Amino acid sequence: MAERITIHKEKKPIYDIVIQNQFAPLLQEMERLGYQGRRVCIVTDSNTGDHYAEVVKELLRPLSGVTVVFTFPAGEEHKNLDVVRQLYTFLIEYKFERQDVLVALGGGVVGDLTGFAAATYLRGIDFIQVPTTLLSQADSSIGGKTGVDFDGYKNMVGAFCMPKLVYMNMHTLDTLDRRIYLSGMGEVIKHGLIRNKDFYGWLKENGEAVKGRSVDALIHMAMENCHCKGDIVEEDPTEKGVRALLNFGHTLGHAIEKQIHFSMYHGECVSVGMVAAAYISWKKGTLSKEELDDMEQVLSMYELPVRVSGLDADAVLNATKSDKKMRGGKIRFILLSSIGEAYISSEVSDEEMLQGLEYIGCVREKNEE
Ligand code: GLY
């Protein structure tokens, strides 16, 4: 069983997302793209490499060019320009030219870093995303955002650069730790909430199959999810407008992530950030209380947090001020008008954000009169 979604730009097909339950057809896909005889560099990290690098390298042998593996230590702290520099050196050593290709095999860190190296090496070479975590399959591998962290700021240096193919083998999710796996559901549920009420309803009905990692359920979920995200990035590839909706839950979620020094996973921070944003939507009268409650129930069913503890609301608010989602000094906040529909607001005050943070359990100093 396999599914294929084509991403377009100005009505022209740009790349396919292939959703599979095995690695083997990746070879055919690469042949179709014309990589016979080209050099291939599989870029991976110490976690994923151990599981799959040799399997994929062996699989691509019939392309009959040179296939090499570049592995760097796993973790967000390695998503930096030093590792990019090491990768450039490696590619120069193996004489990579512009017609050659990088294959990003791993989670979001691997995909973002490889994409950035591909965007800049020799002013741009091809790359293919082979995301192996739910978070990267659901979000970061689709849409061409690439980059690395810089000076403590996430994704501060980067480029929009579209992959030539996104290839998902749903069985790579089998080996993920349960909490890491479920944290990816934060982004999946987000896509239903901002774009597709029916998909949200499907997620609500199929919790057991998804949590049990039934491959049929995962393929269906990936397809619906990629349609949601794919439609948005087709409409607005460089985030001039509608793509900002994908930041639902991220303004406060990122700030919380920073405050807790990344001790919760990204999808978990997005989950609490979405609850705070939905609370603000309710207070503004756009979302109903039933919808807010329903959303909290669905997030909880997927074992995602809907509250935090031990966080100071003002400190979290301050952390939002250095967020990239600002325009002209104003935060572009994403709110819900209903489940399945989101909008951008520049009218969310600090007081409203503090109330949202208080709702999710952040502590607020009360001013004594
Ligand atoms: N992760 C948000 C985006 O791709 O725009």
At residue 1 the predicted structure's pLDDT band, cuts being 50, 70 and 90, is: low
DSSP classification of residue 41? E
Q: What is the CA radius of gyration of the chain?
A: 20
pLDDT tens profile 215-245: 999 999 999 999 999 999 999 999 999 999 9
**DSSP3 helix / strand / coil % (the chain, rounded to 5):** 50, 20, 30
Model confidence, pTM: 0.94
Residue 325 · residue 369 · CB < 8 Å: no
Average pLDDT over residues 344-352: 95
Residue having the nearest C-alpha atom to atom 3 of ligand 1: 246
* Cβ of 246 below 6 Å from ligand 1: yes
- pLDDT mean over 23-35: 98
Find the distance separating the first CA and the last CA of the chain, reported in whole Å.
66
Would you place residue 329 in the very low, low, confident or very high pLDDT band (cuts 50, 70, 90)? Answer: low
Cβ atoms of 263 and 183 within 8 Å: the answer is no
| Model confidence band, residue 65 (pLDDT cutoffs 50, 70, 90) | confident
Q: Is the CB of 154 under 6 A from ligand 1?
A: no
Q: What is the mean pLDDT of residues 187-196?
A: 98
**Cα gap 48→55, rounded to integer Å:** 11
CA of 191 to the centre of ligand 1 (A): 11
Cα–ligand 1 centroid distance for 66 (angstroms)? 33
For residue 116, the model assigns a pLDDT of: 98
Predicted local distance difference test score (pLDDT) of residue 322: 73
Q: Is 254 in the pocket of ligand 1 (CB under 6 A)?
A: no
Cα(140) to ligand 1 centroid in Å equals 6
Whole-angstrom Cα distance, residue 275 to residue 217?
26
Query: Residue 369: which pLDDT band, with cuts at 50, 70 and 90?
Result: very low
Mean pLDDT of 1-25: 94
Residue 281 CA to ligand 1 center (angstroms) comes to 21
Q: What is the mean pLDDT of residues 284-294?
A: 98
Distance CA 180, CA 186 (A): 11
3-class secondary structure, 168: strand
Q: What is the mean pLDDT of the chain?
A: 95
Question: Would the pLDDT of 168 be above 80?
Answer: yes
Q: Concatenated DSSP letters for 127-159?
A: EEEEE-SHHIIIIITSS-EEEEEETTEEEEEEE
CB 56 within 8 A of CB 84: no
pLDDT-based confidence at 53, cuts 50/70/90? very high
Count of C-beta atoms within a 10 Å radius of residue 152: 8
Of all atoms in ligand 1, which is nearest to the CA of residue 143? 4
Ligand 1 pocket, residue 243 CB under 6 Å:
yes
Instruction: Write the pLDDT tens digit of every residue in 104-149.
Output: 999 999 999 999 999 999 999 999 999 999 999 999 999 999 999 9
Residue located nearest, by CA, to atom 2 of ligand 1: 246
pLDDT for position 288: 98
Closest atom, ligand 1, to C-alpha of 187:
1
Q: Which of 9-13, 93-97, 273-277 has the lowest mean pLDDT?
A: 9-13
Rounded CA-CA distance 173/51 in Å is 12
Q: How far apart are CA 46 and CA 49, in angstroms?
A: 5
Instruction: Measure the CA–CA gap between 166 and 53, rounded to whole angstroms.
Output: 17
**CA 245 to ligand 1 centroid distance, Å:** 9
Best residue among 17, 135, 145 to mutate for probing ligand 1, ranked by most atoms within 8 Å of CB: 145
Q: What is the pLDDT of residue 367?
A: 56
Q: Retrieve residue 226's tokens.
A: 């990629």
pLDDT at 82 over 90: yes
Distance of CA 187 to the CA centre of its chain: 7
CB neighbour list of residue 235: distance below 8 Å, 6 or more residues apart: 241, 242, 243
Q: Following DSSP, what letter does each residue of 255-286 receive, concatenated?
A: HHHHHTTT-S-HHHHHHHHHHHHHHHHHHTTS
DSSP string computed for 59-108:
HTGGG-S-EEEEEE--SGGG-SHHHHHHHHHHHHHTT--TT-EEEEEESH
Distance, in Å, from the CA atom of 267 to the CA atom of 271, rounded to the nearest integer, reads 6
User: Is the pLDDT confidence value at 304 over 80?
Assistant: yes
Instruction: Report whether residue 112 contacts ligand 1, using a CB cutoff of 6 Å.
Output: no
- Tell me the best of 161, 246, 254 to mutate to test the pocket of ligand 1, counting ligand atoms within 8 Å of each CB and taking the most: 246
- Return left, alpha or beta for 3; rule: phi > 0 is left, psi -120 to 50 is alpha, else beta: beta
243 C-alpha vs ligand 1 centroid, how far in Å?
7
Closest ligand 1 atom to residue 232 Cα is: 5
Better-scored residue on pLDDT, 260 or 298: 298
Ligand 1 centre and the CA of 237: distance in Å? 10
Residue 177 has pLDDT above 70, yes or no: yes
CA pair distance 299, 59, nearest whole angstrom: 38
SS3 at position 214: coil
CB-ligand 1 contact for 268 (6 Å cutoff): no
CA of 108 to the centre of ligand 1 (A): 11
Note whether 101 and 38 are within 8 A (CB): yes
- Kindly tell me if the per-residue pLDDT of 327 is higher than 70: no
